[in-house]
Homo-oligomer: A and B are copies of this chain.
Amino acid sequence: MSILVVGSVAYDTVETPFGKAERVLGGSASFFSVAASFFTSVNLVGVVGNDFGEKQLAAFRGRNIDLSGLERMDGQTFHWQGKYSYDLNSRDTICTDLNVFEFFKPKIPESYRKSELVFLGNIDPVLQLDVLEQVQKPQVVACDTMNFWIQGKPKELRRTLEKVDVLLVNDAELRQLSGEWNVIKAARAVRAMGPKTLVVKKGEHGVLMVGEESFAAPAYPLEAVFDPTGAGDTFAGGFLGYLAAAGNAKDETLRRAVIMGSTLASFCVEAFSLDRLLKLTRKEIDDRFRLFKRLTHFEDI
């Protein structure tokens, strides 16, 4: 299956206890596309400003990423600035300059409309629904969202969720969306809103997938987490990329896809921006997948 992804392409300025990176490539669609492109062809839809040049585009070139849907608009590219403390699970946003992203109305190129898997990145749920109306019925619709939309556009988000097969959220968002504290009860409530498969991202504590069955995976234990920015989008890219390449959403495939997403995310956090992902080889990915297997394996009694 080919994947259509709609999301942000951005500049990030990030400070962690280990260093600072200024105006480096970021954005949900960037991390997602590069991660997914290890497995399948990706059709990217996003918007950048005049300040986004060939140097930045080079990250996407030579990969399985179609850029015909990357719109260029007069103005500056979306810029996010954040700072992490030693507890890399929490971060402070220092500024969010939406710039051209404020006026983003996704236009799906004709050549993208038959994409079999659609990933609706974290944008206004009204725009997410609009994207679905522009495509021919995809086999899998996956979606991300955030507290801003859960609180600000609850009705619109519910209308989008009715059309979604796989929802990726973090544990705090899941609790907010469902109004339930307990993750299992919360997952049941959200599954009743539409998405049959729920992927709950818990940062350094791993992932819990709730569908017909539940599947739990730890995060890969790293000695040096350098910058967590983009880990969630990279997870989504590895997860959905693997799923699209497998061409089915059977339980066993979904489980391996979670591990593949976690594998890609574990590389992402080893460096700023997409630096590690852009150097990554398929062999390194498969080797770490096998280490994940060893990390979690035990014999039945």
Contacts and interface: CB of A to CB of B under 8 A. Distances in A.
Given A205-B205, A286-B301, A215 B296 contact: yes
Interface in A189-230: 202, 205-206, 208, 213-218, 221-225
A298 B289 CA distance: 11
B214 A221 contact: yes
Contact of A223 (B184, B206, B213, B223): B184
A3 to B, nearest CB: 19
Nearest to A257: B298
Interface residues of A, number: 39
A222 B296 contact: no
A298 B252 contact: yes
A256 B298 contact: yes
Q: Indicate how many identical chains form the complex.
A: 2
A213 B185 CA distance: 35
A208 B206 CA distance: 12
A181 interface: yes
Interface in A278-301: 286, 289-290, 293-301
A217 B184 contact: no
Given A86-B181, A202-B205, A205-B205, A298 B255 contact: yes
A182 B258 CA distance: 24
A295 B207 CA distance: 12
B300 A290 contact: yes
A213 B291 CA distance: 10
Contacts of A258: 298
A255 B213 CA distance: 23
A259 interface: yes
Contacts of A86: 181
A266 to B, nearest CB: 12
A146 interface: no
19 contacts: A182-B222, A184-B222, A184-B223, A185-B223, A205-B205, A208-B218, A208-B221, A213-B294, A215-B295, A216-B218, A216-B295, A218-B218, A255-B297, A255-B299, A289-B300, A289-B301, A290-B300, A290-B301, A296-B296
Interface of A: 86-87, 181-185, 202, 205-206, 208, 213-218, 221-225, 252, 255-256, 258-259, 286, 289-290, 293-301
